[in-house]
Amino acid sequence: MTTTVPETAIYTPDNLLDAIIAKLGLKNDAALSRALEVAPPVISKIRHRTLPIGATILLRMHEVSDFSIRELKALMGNPQGMCAPTSA
């Protein structure tokens, strides 16, 4: 089950995805999905804010990009270091 992230949130996954794409020298979201070993719709849902970035994919982003977890959270617009809301 997915949770839509509210539009009023300071959550900006585009910045995070674009930074990882740039750091890895990738061309697009499809290449990013291959690098992260996730299905392409996962990246699309994150970019369109219908799927929050969870701990598992955040950890995978860290492993692949060498950005620290703190840097990744800051890039997605979360300076307090908290993950996006998830459903229970």
- Quick one: which of 31, 29, 27, 21 has its CA closest to 67? 21
pLDDT per residue as tens digits for the range 39-73: 999 999 999 999 999 999 999 999 999 999 999 99
The pTM (predicted TM-score) of the whole model is: 0.78
Using the Cα atoms of residue 16, residue 17, residue 18 and residue 19 in order, give the sign of their dihedral: positive
Residue 81: pLDDT over 50: no
- Identify the weakest region by mean pLDDT among 2-6, 35-39, 54-58: 2-6
The CA–CA distances, whole Å, from 55 to 26, 61, 67 equal 23, 10, 14
Residue 71: its H or E element = helix 69-75
The CA–CA distances, whole Å, from 87 to 26, 50, 62, 75 equal 31, 12, 23, 22
Domain 13-75 classified CATH 1.25.40?
no
Residue 4: pLDDT over 60: no
